[in-house]
């Protein structure tokens, strides 16, 4: 392809309102342009890379006997109403009304559609299991779109769905999918971590997510420095056998803590580590208020608490709600002499505190030398806190570290959630109606494309891996008005095209400096420069990855290229 | 692919509410399913065929140096407001509002988007011409969706756009595109006619449309039986040298025509052919009312009239409007003694009427023996009627016939309409700002898919051409519980797969009759049946196209297939 004939609008300057490398480089190198907030054009170079990513995914899906189809983007509201998504995801849905007043969502994902379709057509266990997939645009009215394609409102996604007669069959497909995803990311050269995480939406089961580790990521991953263990920080369990101090229990005392607002301030004032402080939080559950005790240096994990108290929704109690049971402000709450009917949950770490410090349920007063059982009761100890860097890995191997990650895919066991909501059933071997057991498997293609740029770049631009580059070779002609250069370039173009290389030929009437910096930005793996030494049949070669420069004779070029691309 | 693992929900019965073959067969053979009115799932077989169609189109576009990109589906209202489409296409647009109250259309087509994008990035004549294309879903809130994918609300479309500095450059690309379209349809085995037609929307220039001739089509094409001439009936010019009868002019007379309502009734009553009658119509233009005379056996072509009177909008005058200038009802209007300031236009055919019949501008009265010039004046004669079957072809070759056609593609010269509306300009060689000269080129992919089924079917199902079939070969095992049959089938499957054929293997536990009729429905070009004679290594072969059945030995199968697929 001649560069003069294609559309690669490069930019010299770093665009304003961009923070991360992939966003900046994809704009600067002419891969994407914004149309509206969170909505982008994929320009020709991007389209080429994305087609390559899609091809890898398609191949891996087909290996699993998943069949490709295409569901509509317009989704009738009725199905989404049956699963409740029409109202629970209200904010995220782009809603449309047609000329007859019928309501549609511009498809966020297709669980309802596919479950209803399969239910209408597959009536017997004989036709199961069945796995389908599609590659399509997905629409989410993201409240704060940012970072280019990493957090956008129109994404290219591969979504697959599987239908089974049993959890065992689902588990098999789920494991196959996890492996397929690992294969996909390996083939795409994208470094990812497989992470245990919480289900989203209606799904309460843990799922496996794939994160590309990157400072551009917005999720925090807790991973072991010595094993494959990784989880989102909301999910990671804390598995520590806290040792109780051998310190003798002292007598409880009141201290005045006026003007001390934070745990840090209280700890400093009393000259103790914040791990001696017992934080007491009042939380509102479906069954009313509860108290939760957390060590001063820890943070409550609401999701763990929600699971322990078995409440589908929980939130911190408001000041007004706290006032209904206690007459002090929230900074002075403590576990001693709480109302007798208030259930008390405590994180496992709290049990090990001897002579602790806590609020006295009186404004501006704390208690010191507080001890469990002697001074206060706990109804249930559990793992209730967020994991921290330095904690031992829950699998017993190594220490937890944190990293930021870009969510690039997830596999979820949905079980019968959607099929029950939609009355989607088949007839089993005994002639009985059974809901389908289902799984859902997503890969975010446009996000992977960005994540790859995060991983493969330097100060000058993108550095595409060979298999994903939009073209294999960037051929630069320094001066298209020089007949010798022009002729050698055209000769090379035809020669290499006949060897099945895809070339981008910079035939533009631009300064050499512009051509070089554009080539660095665009990031093809190898650059062939036809310049002054064209008359000797000599070509300058630059490898984008290493920056190494060599010279090749015209006669040796096909052989050299073959050995480079074989590597 | 094993048929038991894929998703091909065939149906025995013809579905209700379906009229045309492609709609019925695509449903029955398990290629599509309706989600909502005019909105369809493309099931695995359809997706495969459509991918093949897309690949052909992509190749032909790339030969023209058109570059592929992907524009967003969500289109900000602001651009559509600039061209007026936001209000003029109100009914057709699916409109969405985001959480910030910003308005979007779910993309009907992308003229505004691409013109604005190119305008922002291409500032110099040096970067022109430029042609881009994409393959994407398009959304039109079709008022009366019908016939499956032929008239739907979510279509797969290839749309290309070209940008130029001159009309000559546009004309070159336009002609190249016409040729590329002809190549595409030839490669797809779709019989089409290239037809001159009117531009749509903002575009007033004639365009070339491609119609697949089919009774399932909804547009009427006028074509010559002896040349390549073809046009939509709205567009076809009438090019006839009407001969004036040699009959002597008689005296004008009044006749009572009470209770005669139609031209046919008046003609029968007076015992004359309806070609002797002069129909007089009152039409409302931007500049007020005009009278239009048309021969009784002809129909007014409003579009031709609009062009002759140079009014951007015209319509038939209402009874109330007619009453402001004439005191009779519309059935009794005639050209004699019309108000002096009413402009009179007449179709060329009217000039040849001698001793004609017309309304007397008095209720229930007609005039006979009316003659132009002597009895009434005409301001302008022009070609104002709709072409009819039997008319001579306007190119002078042969006779006009009518046929119904499915609109499968169009090429349009937009000129500077969109670029002027959007202030889209570049700087020319003299340093002057100039609006881009643009073209737009569409192919309706999902409609082509249906049109192919209209063309390739019989009473039993679809008959795919070899290059477009979702799989090359349908392998049927009559009894999967018979070890010999099963083993021979698997052997064949592996053998033929290694020869790069794509096979669909009917391994289902179904009766032979079901397998045969499903195979006919699905329509793969060749069927290999492994049945009773499996023990002798004998395979029954049926060609879907001809229905011919033969038997092949296992040993000769690859050779026979090669010669069949080479044909």
What long-range pairs does A56-62 form, CB within 8 A, spacing at least 24? A56/A184, A56/A187, A56/A188, A57/A135, A57/A158, A57/A184, A57/A443, A57/A445, A58/A135, A60/A180, A60/A183, A60/A184, A60/A187, A61/A133, A61/A158, A61/A160, A61/A180
| Peptide bond before residue B46 is cis, with ω within 30 degrees of 0 | no
Preceding amide of B491 cis, omega within 30 = no
The C-alpha of B529 sits at a distance from chain A's nearest C-alpha, in angstroms, of: 22
DSSP character string of A60-108: HHHHTT-EE-B--SEEEHHHHHHHTHHHHTGGG-EEEE-TTS-EEEE-S
Write out chain B residues lying below 8 Å of A143, CB-based. 99
Residues A418 and A360 in one domain: no
**Mutating which of B4, B45, B94 best tests the A interface, going by the most A Cβ atoms within 10 A?**
B94
**SS3 for B264?**
helix
| Chain A residue numbers touching B37 (CB-CB < 8 A) | 102
Scan residues 28-67 of B and list those with Cβ closer than 8 Å to A. 33, 35-37, 39-44, 46-48, 50, 65, 67
Smallest Cβ distance to B96: which of A1, A44, A94?
A: A94
Cα of B427 to nearest chain A Cα, Å? 16
Q: How many CB pairs under 8 A join A and B?
A: 164
CATH number of residue B305's parent domain: 3.90.960.10
Q: Which of A67, A89, A142, A162 to mutate to test the interface with B (most CBs of B within 10 A)?
A: A67
Nearest one of B115, B72, B105 to B439, comparing CA atoms: B115
State the smallest CA–CA distance between residue A277 and chain B in angstroms. Answer: 43
Please tell me the distance in Å from B477's CA to the nearest CA on chain A: 17
Cβ-defined contact of A5 to B70 (cutoff 8 Å): no
User: Which of residues 505 through 564 in chain A touch B, CB cutoff 8 A?
Assistant: 509
pLDDT at site B260: 85
**A370 and A333 assigned to the same domain:** yes
For residues B357 and B445, membership in a common domain is answered with: no
> What token pair was written down for A253?
């005392």
Interface test with B, best of A9, A55, A72 (most B CBs within 10 A): A72
Quick one: A259 and A311 in the same domain? Answer: yes
Q: Residue A90 domain-assigned? A: no
pLDDT of chain B, 567 residues: tens digit per residue? 999 999 999 999 999 889 999 999 999 999 999 999 999 999 999 999 999 999 999 999 999 999 999 999 999 999 999 999 998 887 899 999 999 999 999 999 999 999 999 999 999 999 999 999 999 999 999 999 999 999 999 999 999 999 999 999 999 999 999 999 999 999 999 999 999 887 666 666 778 999 999 999 989 999 999 999 999 998 899 999 998 888 899 999 999 988 888 899 999 999 999 999 999 999 999 999 999 999 999 999 998 999 899 888 899 999 999 989 998 888 889 999 999 899 999 999 999 999 999 999 999 999 999 999 999 999 999 999 999 999 999 999 999 999 999 999 999 999 999 999 999 999 999 999 999 999 999 999 999 999 999 999 999 999 999 999 999 999 999 999 999 999 999 999 999 999 999 999 999 999 999 999 999 999 999 999 999 999 999 999 999 999 999 999 999 999 999 999 998
Query: Do the domain assignments include residue A460?
Result: no
- Provide the shortest C-alpha distance from residue A33 to chain B (in Å): 8
Structure tokens at A12: 């010299």
Half-sphere exposure of A450 (CA within 13 A, CB side): 30
Q: Please report residues of A whose CB lies closer than 8 A to that of B169.
A: none
Going residue by residue through chain A, which has 567 residues, state the pLDDT in tens, using 9 for 90 and above: 999 999 999 999 999 889 999 999 999 999 999 999 999 999 999 999 999 999 999 999 999 999 999 999 999 999 999 999 998 887 899 999 999 999 999 999 999 999 999 999 999 999 999 999 999 999 999 999 999 999 999 999 999 999 999 999 999 999 999 999 999 999 999 999 999 887 666 666 778 999 999 999 989 999 999 999 999 998 899 999 998 888 899 999 999 988 888 899 999 999 999 999 999 999 999 999 999 999 999 999 998 999 899 888 899 999 999 989 998 888 889 999 999 899 999 999 999 999 999 999 999 999 999 999 999 999 999 999 999 999 999 999 999 999 999 999 999 999 999 999 999 999 999 999 999 999 999 999 999 999 999 999 999 999 999 999 999 999 999 999 999 999 999 999 999 999 999 999 999 999 999 999 999 999 999 999 999 999 999 999 999 999 999 999 999 999 999 999 998
A20 within some domain: no
Q: Are residues A203 and A56 in the same domain?
A: yes
What per-residue confidence (pLDDT) applies to A204? 67
The predicted pLDDT at position A200 comes to 67
Residue B125 lies in a domain: yes
Provide the pLDDT for residue B89. Answer: 82
Last residue in a domain, options A382, A412, A445: A382
Question: Do B519 and B420 share a domain, yes or no?
Answer: no
Q: B321 is in which domain, residue-wise?
A: 253-382
User: Which residue of B74, B106, B159, B518 is the best one to mutate when testing the A interface, meaning the one whose CB has the most A CBs within 10 A?
Assistant: B74
| Cβ-defined contact of A74 to B44 (cutoff 8 Å) | no
For A106: left if phi > 0, alpha if psi spans -120 to 50, otherwise beta; the answer is: beta
User: Which chain A residues are Cβ-neighbours of B126 within 8 angstroms?
Assistant: 509
For residues B155 and B204, membership in a common domain is answered with: yes
Rg of chain B in Å (alpha carbons)? 30
Residue A298 near chain B (CB below 8 Å)? no
ipTM of the shown complex:
0.90
| Whole-number Å distance between alpha carbons of A397 and A247 | 30
CB contact under 8 Å between A41 and B73, yes or no, is no
Q: What is the CATH number of the domain that holds A517?
A: 3.40.50.800
| A28 in a structural domain | no
Q: Looking at the structure, do residues A506 and A363 belong to the same domain, yes or no?
A: no
B107 and B164 within one domain? yes
Contacts of B106 in chain A (CB under 8 A): 73-74, 96, 106
Please report residues of B whose CB lies closer than 8 A to that of A137. Answer: 73, 137
> From CA A494, how far away is CA A327, in angstroms rounded?
85
Final residue of a structural domain among B453, B488, B512: B453
The total domain count for chain A is 3
Cα B220 to Cα B233: distance, rounded to the nearest angstrom: 6
Question: DSSP for B170-188?
Answer: HHHHHHHHHHHHHHHHHHT
In a domain, residue A488? The reply is yes
| Judgement on whether residues B231 and B125 belong to the same structural domain of the protein | yes
Report residue B267 as tokens.
């003609």
* Number of C-beta neighbours around residue B553 at 10 A: 11
- Provide the chain B residues 340-399 that lie in CB contact (below 8 A) with chain A: none
Quick one: CA torsion of B14, B15, B16, B21, rounded to 10 degrees?
-70
The two beta strands, A67-68 and A130-139, are parallel
B353 shares its domain with B443: no
CA distance B238 to chain A (A): 38
Please say which residue of A353, A382, A411 terminates a domain.
A382
Residue A461 lies in a domain: no
Test B65 with A130 for CB contact under 8 angstroms.
no
In a domain, A367, yes or no: yes
The whole-model pTM stands at 0.91
End-to-end CA distance of chain A: 25
Alpha helices in B245-298 (DSSP H): 263-270
User: CB distance from A72 to chain B under 8 Å?
Assistant: yes
A 253-292 near B (Cβ less than 8 A): none
CATH code of the domain containing A111: 3.30.930.10
Q: What are the structure tokens assigned to A302, written together?
A: 């609401």
Same domain, A152 and A118: yes
**In A, which residues are within 8 Å of B44 by CB distance?**
67-69, 132
């Amino acid at each position: 392809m001649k560069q003069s004939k294609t559309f690669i609008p490069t930019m010299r300057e770093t665009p304003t309102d961009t923070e991360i490398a992939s966003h900046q480089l994809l704009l600067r190198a002419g891969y994407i342009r914004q149309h509206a907030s969170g909505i982008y054009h994929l320009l020709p170079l991007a389209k080429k890379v994305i087609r390559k990513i899609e091809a890898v995914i398609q191949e891996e899906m087909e290996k699993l006997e998943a069949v490709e189809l295409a569901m509509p983007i317009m989704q009738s509201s009725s199905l989404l109403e049956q699963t409740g998504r029409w109202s629970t995801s209200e904010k995220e849905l782009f809603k449309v009304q047609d000329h007859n007043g019928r309501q549609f969502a511009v498809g966020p994902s297709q669980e309802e559609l596919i479950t209803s379709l399969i239910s209408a057509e597959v009536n017997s266990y004989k036709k199961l299991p069945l796995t389908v997939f599609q590659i399509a645009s997905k629409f989410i009215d993201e409240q704060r779109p940012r970072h280019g394609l990493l957090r956008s409102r129109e994404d290219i996604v591969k979504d697959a769905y599987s239908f089974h007669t049993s959890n065992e069959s689902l588990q098999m497909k789920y494991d196959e999918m996890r492996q397929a995803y690992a294969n996909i990311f390996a083939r795409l050269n994208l470094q990812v971590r497989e992470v245990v995480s919480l289900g989203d939406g209606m799904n309460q089961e843990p799922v496996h997510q794939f994160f590309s580790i990157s400072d551009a990521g917005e999720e925090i991953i807790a991973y072991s420095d010595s094993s494959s263990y990784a989880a989102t920080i909301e999910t990671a369990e804390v598995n520590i056998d806290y040792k109780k101090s051998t310190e003798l229990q002292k007598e409880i005392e009141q201290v005045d803590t006026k003007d001390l607002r934070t745990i840090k301030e209280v700890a400093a004032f009393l000259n103790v580590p914040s791990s001696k402080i017992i934080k007491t939080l009042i939380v509102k559950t479906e069954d009313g208020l509860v108290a939760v005790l957390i060590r001063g240096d820890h943070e409550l994990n609401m999701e763990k608490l929600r699971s322990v108290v078995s409440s589908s929704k929980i939130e911190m109690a408001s000041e007004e709600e706290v006032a209904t049971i206690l007459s002090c402000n929230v900074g002075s709450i403590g576990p001693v002499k709480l109302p007798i009917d208030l259930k008390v949950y405590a994180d496992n770490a709290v049990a090990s505190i001897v002579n602790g410090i806590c609020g006295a349920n009186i404004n501006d007063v704390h208690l010191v030398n507080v001890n469990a059982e002697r001074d206060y009761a706990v109804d249930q100890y559990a793992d209730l806190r967020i994991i921290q860097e330095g904690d031992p890995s829950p699998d017993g191997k190594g220490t937890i570290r944190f990293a930021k990650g870009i969510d690039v895919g997830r596999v979820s066991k949905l079980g019968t959630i959607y099929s029950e909501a939609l009355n989607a059933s088949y007839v089993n071997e005994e002639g009985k109606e059974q809901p389908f057991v289902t799984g859902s498997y997503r890969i975010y293609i446009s996000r992977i494309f960005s994540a790859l740029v995060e991983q493969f770049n330097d100060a000058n631009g993108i550095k595409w891996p060979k298999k994903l580059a939009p073209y294999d070779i960037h051929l630069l002609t320094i001066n298209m008005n020089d007949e010798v250069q022009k002729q050698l370039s055209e000769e090379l173009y035809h020669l290499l095209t006949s060897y099945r290389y895809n070339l981008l030929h910079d035939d533009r009437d631009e300064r050499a400096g512009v051509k070089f910096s554009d080539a660095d930005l665009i990031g093809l793996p190898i650059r062939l420069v036809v310049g002054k030494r064209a008359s000797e049949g000599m070509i300058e070669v630059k490898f984008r990855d290493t920056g190494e420069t060599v010279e090749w004779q015209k006669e040796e070029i096909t052989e050299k290229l073959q050995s480079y691309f074989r590597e």
